[in-house]
Amino acid sequence: MNKIRVSKEFHFEMSHALWNYDGPCKNIHGHSYKLIVTVIGEPINDNNNPKNGMLIDFTELKNIVYTLVVKLFDHAFLVSHNADISSFYTTREMFDKMLVVEYQPTCENILLDIVNRLKNNFPENLELHTVKLYETATSFAQWFSSDN
């Protein structure tokens, strides 16, 4: 058995505000996020399969992550359901892509949301191994399947 890990990097822009936070991140602000998704499994070993030798076609991996994560989060504003968001609804031209989430939208919680959106949506021959979300160039949160 030869397990292989395959990773793909994604980028998206997103804003958020941390409700009831005691620092500057309580204000609406944005980040250029970098997301690295790694899956693990055994490459296809079937000469009749056009994907022979691949764990997953990078295009397929891209399409899964783009559809379930990037398309949803890119240029969105994330805010906790605990915040008073009533005034945002009066300016829909600025908050058209507001996502009210059931958590405090920290890098850690956004990462867990992404993991939950992805983990059961890959072909059965592979599983989600690692997800790494950079909120800035030097700050990130990381999830490992082996820890959970």
> Tokens standing for 94?
């600025």
Angstrom CA distances, 128 to 44, 84, 94, 95, 133, stand at: 17, 35, 35, 32, 14
List the beta strands (DSSP E) in 46-112. Answer: 76-80, 98-101
The architecture (CATH level 2) of 4-147 comes to: 2-Layer Sandwich (3.30)
- pLDDT tens by residue, the chain, 148 residues: 799 999 999 999 999 999 999 999 999 999 999 999 999 999 999 999 999 999 999 999 999 999 999 999 999 999 999 988 776 666 666 677 889 999 999 999 999 999 999 999 999 889 999 999 999 999 999 999 999 9
Tell me, yes or no, if 13 is annotated catalytic.
Answer: no
Tell me the C-alpha distance between 50 and 25, whole Å.
48
Tell me, yes or no, if 75 is annotated catalytic.
Answer: yes
Q: pTM surpassing 0.85?
A: yes
Exactly one of 42, 75, 81, 127 is catalytic; name it: 75
Give the domain ranges of the chain. Answer: 4-147
